[in-house]
Amino acid sequence: MTNPDNLLAFLLYFGTAVALLAAFLAAFTLITPIHEWRLIRAGNTAVALALGGAMLGFALPLAAAVIHSASLPDMIVTAAVALVVQLLCFAAMRLLRRDASVALARGEMAEAVFLAFCSVVLGILNAACVG
């Protein structure tokens, strides 16, 4: 990365990826019926684990978008599609697990582990389709 152009490309891609991750977190926490940040600050490990799984589930296709894109605009579009897909997957999981938010708010770790793994598995499938 000694070339200044390479450093600039790294900074642009990394900064954009972090901004997209922040956008995912904002969208995800807006569509969920619980207040993740407040519950995490209160020490709710189940919510932290589920949110961490959702972050990882999006970071996987985001990384694939960075790796496989031909340009920064291409990466942004691909990552935006992956973001929507990941949110739709979460919505589908909510249909299957209607009481998940209540269980997470109560701190039920089994629900958190299941939701985190579902998010990661769907993120892996999403990432595999990006290439």
Q: What is the pLDDT of residues 77-108, one digit of tens each?
A: 999 998 898 888 888 888 888 888 899 999 99
Strand ranges in 29-113 using DSSP code E only, listed in sequence order = none
| Distance (Å, whole) CA 126 – CA 120 | 10
Integer angstrom CA distances of residue 126 from 38, 43, 85, 100, 119:
29, 31, 7, 22, 10
Token readout for 18 is: 């972090």
Of 51, 30, 31, 37, which is closest to residue 113 (Cα–Cα)? 51
pLDDT digits (tens, 9 = 90+) for 27-83: 999 988 899 999 999 999 999 999 999 999 999 999 999 999 999 999 999 999 988
Rounded to two decimals, what is the model's pTM? 0.90
CA separation, residue 65 to residues 11, 14, 19, 81, 128 (Å): 16, 12, 14, 10, 10
Q: What is the pLDDT of residue 12?
A: 95
Determine the average pLDDT of the residues in 100-128: 93
